[in-house]
Amino acid sequence: MSTDRVIEYWSNGRSEPLHLSWKYDVYSDFSEAANAIADAFPPVAADLWDIAAACHAVDRRVRRPPNEHWKPSAWGRDIGIRVAVRNPSLWERHRRLLEGLLTWLTCDRWSLSFREPRPGELPKQVVEPFLEGIDDWPGKRIAMLFSGGADSTAGVLHEVSQSQGDSVLLTVSVASNKKMRSRQENLAKSIPQRLGMRVAPLPFRLHLKKSTSGAVRSENSQRTRGLVFLAAGIAAALTAGCRRLLIYENGIGAINLPCTRGQVGAQAARPVHPRTILVMQRIADIVADACGLPPLVLENKALWRTKAELIGGLPPAYDDILAASVSCDTGFAARSEFSHCGECSSCLLRRQALLAAGRSAVEHREEYRGRSEIEDQHLHAMLWQVARMRRALEAEDPWTAFVQEFPDVLCVPSVLDHRDELLDLYRRYCAEWADPAIARRLGFQPSTWGLTAPG
Do 148 and 255 share a domain, yes or no? Answer: yes
Q: What element of type H or E holds 29?
A: strand 26-29
- Are residues 285 and 246 part of one domain? yes
**330 found inside a domain:** no
pTM of this prediction? 0.92
How distant, in Å, are the alpha carbons of 115, 254, 358 from that of 88?
6, 32, 52
Q: How far apart are the first and last CA of the chain?
A: 77
E-assigned strands of 161-288?
167-175, 198-208, 244-247
Task: Give the domain-ending residue among 115, 150, 183.
Answer: 115
Residue 455 falls within a domain, yes or no?
Answer: no
**Owning domain of residue 143:** 134-212+220-300
Domain check: are 138 and 111 in the same one?
no
Contacting residues for 48 by C-beta, under 8 A, at least 6 apart? 231, 234, 235, 283, 287
Which backbone phi and psi does 206 adopt, to 5 degrees? Answer: -150, 110
Which of 84, 115, 146 finishes a domain?
115
The distance of Cα 422 from the centroid of its chain, to the nearest Å, equals: 21
Q: Are residues 148 and 252 in the same domain?
A: yes
231 in Cβ contact with 49 (< 8 Å): yes
- Please answer whether residues 155 and 194 qualify as being in contact, where contact means their C-beta atoms are separated by less than 8 angstroms: no
Give the pLDDT of the chain (455 residues) as one tens digit per residue: 345 789 999 997 778 899 999 989 999 999 999 998 888 999 999 999 999 999 999 999 998 877 655 555 567 899 999 999 999 999 999 999 999 999 999 999 999 999 999 988 888 887 876 645 565 555 678 899 999 999 999 999 998 888 766 678 899 999 988 888 888 888 887 776 666 667 889 999 999 886 544 445 678 888 999 999 999 999 999 999 999 999 999 999 999 999 887 666 567 889 999 999 999 999 999 999 999 999 999 999 999 999 999 999 999 989 989 988 998 888 777 666 677 888 888 999 999 999 999 998 887 655 787 655 444 688 999 999 999 999 999 999 999 999 999 999 999 999 999 999 999 999 999 999 998 889 988 888 888 887 775 54
For 34, 85, 103, 218, 414, the CA distances from 64, given in Å and listed in that order, are 35, 28, 15, 10, 33
Q: Is residue 124 part of a domain?
A: no
Provide DSSP, 42-67.
Answer: PHHHHHHHHHHHHHHHHHHHSPPPPG
Phi-psi region of 318 (alpha: psi -120 to 50; beta: other; left: phi over 0): alpha
Q: What is the CATH number of the domain that holds 146?
A: 3.40.50.620
Residues 143 and 275 in one domain: yes
Q: For residues 257 and 352, state if they share a domain.
A: no
> Domain check: are 146 and 293 in the same one?
yes
Of 52, 80, 115, the position where a domain reaches its end is: 115
415 in the same domain as 364 = yes
Q: What is the CA radius of gyration of the chain?
A: 22
Whole-angstrom distance, CA of residue 308 vs CA of residue 429: 9
Is 334 part of any domain? no
Residues contacting residue 284 through CB under 8 Å, at least 6 positions apart = 234, 238, 245, 295, 296, 298
